[in-house]
Amino acid sequence: MATPGAGPARTPSASSNAGPERMPEARAFALGVYLIASFLVQICFLVALWPKVQDGKWVPIWDCRIFKDGCIISDDARLIAIVLVAGGVGAMVHALRSFSAHIGAQRLSKGWAWWYVLRPFEGSVIGLTFYLVLRGGLLSTSASADSSASTISVYGVAGIAVLVGMFSHEAVAKLKELAETLFSKPSQGSAGVSAQPHPKPSVIRCDPSEIRQGTFPAQIAVQGTNFVRQSEVHIEGSVRPTVFKSDGWLEASLTADDTKNTDRFLKVSVVTGPPGGGESEDDVKVHVA
């Protein structure tokens, strides 16, 4: 019985089931101002960096007099700066869309503040990485390291950088695919070492050894020795979908035709392709009753 004057009982699950802590309105407002200001600053930088062509060449925008003879920023360095800024612009577009959606749904959580702060830097770095990969010729494009900056479409480069910043997840997946190709271990055959031949498989028994007529779909477990991942189960000389379980166990799926007729014995064999391998010679059958 509740004690008079006592407050409502607290349920421990109430706090544990609470969602992420919402960001205070003042902090959300400051974050929104930061995102808008960062976006506008990057747009200004992109406009300032954009090349003006005169007589087929880019007109220099900065003449650094730090050194005695001075130095002019090269076109290639300028293009890298454009890529960095354009990647940040694309990332800011993504961040602004996400921010407005979460604010509108009133579910902007406190823990995502730093994600929004660091998003433009992430987009710039990924955009630059993608640009270097393209210029290096690791991905198939018309641009290469031998191409001069003035002959490369700055619109295309900036457009790709913006897309990479907006869709950084997809861009990182593409870069990961490239990295896996570059750093994958060479196969024994490509290294000039002959691969070890596969042993000849042998079948001991099938489970089940008897299947009722008309059963479909139906699977059988083939037990034996010397199975490899390339091994395939054959029924009456025709290959069936095979799943490798271990060197002594394969699973095969039968077709509707295999179990259509009654009182039939299906010959089961296992075939392993070259090098080595071969077809098992054991007299193992499955009865369709």
Query: Tens digits of per-residue pLDDT, 117-161?
Result: 999 999 999 999 999 888 887 655 555 445 555 567 888 889 999
pLDDT of 34 = 93
Confidence of residue 33 (pLDDT cuts 50, 70, 90): very high
Residues forming a β-bridge with 235: 238, 268
In this model, does residue 104 exceed pLDDT 90?
Answer: no
Q: Which residue has the tokens 């037990």?
A: 223
Could you tell me the CA-to-CA distances from 64 to 15, 51, 142 in Å, in that order? 60, 17, 32
Token pair of 234, please? Answer: 């054959």
Query: Tens digits of per-residue pLDDT, 158-206?
Result: 999 999 999 988 888 888 888 888 887 655 544 444 568 889 999 999 9
CA 100 to chain centre: 27
Residue ranges of domains in the chain: 23-178, 202-288
Q: What is the DSSP letter of 247?
A: T
Residues forming a β-bridge with 239: 234
Nearest alpha carbon to residue 253 among 204, 289, 286: 286
Token pair of 9, please? Answer: 């009982």
pLDDT of 232 = 92
CA 118 to chain centre: 22
Percentage of the chain beyond pLDDT 70 is 79
Q: What is the DSSP letter of 279?
A: E
Q: Average pLDDT, stretch 50-77?
A: 66
pLDDT of 153 = 82
Higher per-residue pLDDT: 42 or 4? 42
Mean pLDDT (the chain) is 81
Domain 202-288: state its class: mainly beta
Token pair of 227, please? Answer: 């199975």
Taken as a whole, the chain contains a residue count of: 289
Cα–Cα distance measured from residue 271 to residue 226, given in angstroms and rounded to the nearest whole number = 11
